[in-house]
Amino acid sequence: MRHRWFADKLHAAGLVSAGFVLAAAALSILPLSPASAGADGLLLQDHALVGSIWDTQTGLRATEADLVSAAAKAKWILLGEKHDNPEHHRLQARIVEAIGAAGRRPAVVWEMAEPAHAQTLRAAAAETVDGLGDALSWEARGWPAWSTYRPIAEAALKHGMAMAPGNASPEATRAVGRGQPLSAAEAERLDWSLDYPQEQMIDLTRILADSHCGMLPESALPAMADVQRFRDAWMSASLRDADSGDGAILIAGSQHVREDRGVPWRLGEPVFSLAIIEVARDEERAETYPSFDAAQFDFVWFTARVDEEDPCEKFRRQMKG
């Protein structure tokens, strides 16, 4: 059960998605399937952990005020999500609102936006936020409904926070997956020579294999690991580029905000990292969840879940198209 639950987290929380799954054979890009809960609501809402916040450094429960206080002190604030869970975006919006109310004005950087969207994000205004998703081709590019993310943008614009893209273009990502070298300028900007420690590369490769349910050949895994490293490097550089003096907030899948090998590791300086994670049936002790790890995240916040579908069956359907 735990293997299936962990695979679901990795697949949908951004380790191999960002709205897309990297297919190994041709390294092509396929859209994720939409969330299945929809208007029926989230599952396991009466789970003992739903709504609870935990400080992984102390191992103790925390309040939302504790979380916001810790976040507000950090230059880099990384808010990890499972992309298809609307509750995760409501919580991210609450944190952005609280950071703004505290007087901070960090930029908000989106994993879901690419360099071509920079001007659209710069020009965004509260009056036009409803149409921002269409302007960014949000859902057309495979991301869950813009309406679930819109509260984050509304909170940012309310407090005068600039917004910027965090992700590389699909073309650049595919090129890395195919083994094409970066230009000298791009390699320098991304500090590309900085590689994962060996133990992290081994762990990432194992997770990539598990999260794809053993359906991909081992020969595909190094390229997929390179893509993950490239996207973490790009987001790290995007945060630095967006910083105008008060840091930045990253909205991204939880695996990108883990401190032992994600964007925080590449930033190389203290960050605040939150994983918003779904509860699992019959798992009622916070410390049994893989994300409850001080080496990965500063805080975890538990929510109800979108579905309980076997993630391997879901992945098989996606691979079949």
Distances, alpha carbon 87 to alpha carbons 42, 81, 82, 256, in Å: 9, 9, 9, 19
- The percent of residues in the chain predicted with pLDDT above 70, rounded, is 87
pLDDT at position 5 is 33
The mean pLDDT of 234-255, rounded to a whole number, is: 98
SS3 305: strand
Q: How confident is the model at residue 18 (pLDDT cuts 50, 70, 90)?
A: very low
Closest to 166 (Cα-Cα) out of 295, 67, 262, 275:
262
The per-residue pLDDT for range 259-310, each reduced to its tens digit, is 999 999 999 899 999 999 999 999 999 999 999 999 999 999 999 999 998 8
Q: How confident is the model at residue 33 (pLDDT cuts 50, 70, 90)?
A: very low
| Tally of domains within the chain | 1
List 273's β-bridge partners, or say none: 78
SS3 258: coil
The mean pLDDT of 130-150, rounded to a whole number, is: 98
Q: How confident is the model at residue 115 (pLDDT cuts 50, 70, 90)?
A: very high
The mean pLDDT of 167-193, rounded to a whole number, is: 97
Closest to 192 (Cα-Cα) out of 177, 178, 182, 201:
182
| Structural domain range at position 311 | 2-320
Average pLDDT, whole number, for the chain? 88
Q: Are 129 and 153 in contact (CB under 8 A)?
A: yes
The mean pLDDT of 207-236, rounded to a whole number, is: 92
Strand segments (E) across 82-168: 107-110, 163-165
pLDDT at position 38 is 39
Higher per-residue confidence, 313 vs 183: 183
The per-residue pLDDT for range 43-63, each reduced to its tens digit, is 999 999 999 999 999 999 999
pLDDT at position 313 is 84
pLDDT at position 314 is 79
List 253's β-bridge partners, or say none: 81
The mean pLDDT of 87-113, rounded to a whole number, is: 99
List 92's β-bridge partners, or say none: none
Question: pTM value?
Answer: 0.87
CA distance linking residue 204 with residue 228, whole number of Å: 9
* Sign of CA pseudo-dihedral 96, 100, 103, 104: positive
Strand-strand pairing, 299-303 and 53-55: antiparallel
pLDDT at position 173 is 98
Output the domain CATH number for residue 252: 3.40.50.11550
pLDDT at position 212 is 84
The mean pLDDT of 165-184, rounded to a whole number, is: 97
CA distance linking residue 192 with residue 172, whole number of Å: 14
CA distance linking residue 151 with residue 106, whole number of Å: 17
Higher per-residue confidence, 13 vs 255: 255
Please check the confidence at residue 125 and state whether its pLDDT lies above 70.
Answer: yes
List 249's β-bridge partners, or say none: 77, 108
What residues contact 153, with CB distance under 8 A and at least 6 apart?
108, 124, 129, 132, 163
SS3 18: coil
Calculate ∠ Cα 195-227-93, nearest 5°.
Answer: 100
The per-residue pLDDT for range 191-201, each reduced to its tens digit, is 999 998 899 99
Q: Are 296 and 8 in contact (CB under 8 A)?
A: no
